[in-house]
Amino acid sequence: MRITISGKNVHISDALRQRIEKKLGKLDRFLVEDEDVQVRLSQARGGRNTVEITIMFDGIILRAEETNPDMFLSVDKAVDIIVRQIRRHRTKLEKRLRAGVYEQQAPDFELQDEAVLVRTKRFVMKPMSVDDAIAQMDLLNHNFFLFLNVETDCASVVYKRVDGNYGLLEAENA
pLDDT, tens digit only, all 174 positions of the chain: 788 899 888 888 999 899 998 988 888 777 766 778 899 999 988 888 899 998 876 667 788 899 999 889 999 999 999 888 888 887 877 777 776 655 555 555 565 667 788 888 887 787 889 998 888 888 777 899 999 989 888 889 999 998 989 999 987 765
CA pair distance 96, 105, nearest whole angstrom: 18
What domains appear along the chain, each with residue ranges and CATH number?
Answer: 2-93 (3.30.160.100), 127-170 (3.30.505.50)
Q: 134-137 long-range CB contacts below 8 Å, 24 or more apart?
A: 134/158, 134/166
SS (H, E, C) 70-131: CHHHHHHHHHHHHHHHHHHHHHHHHHHHHHCCCCCCCCCCCCCCCCCCCCCCCCCCCEECHH
pTM for the full predicted model? 0.54
CA pair distance 106, 23, nearest whole angstrom: 50
Q: Which class for 150: exposed (0-12), middle (13-18), buried (19 or more C-beta within 10 A)? A: middle
CB contact at 8 A, 64 and 52: yes
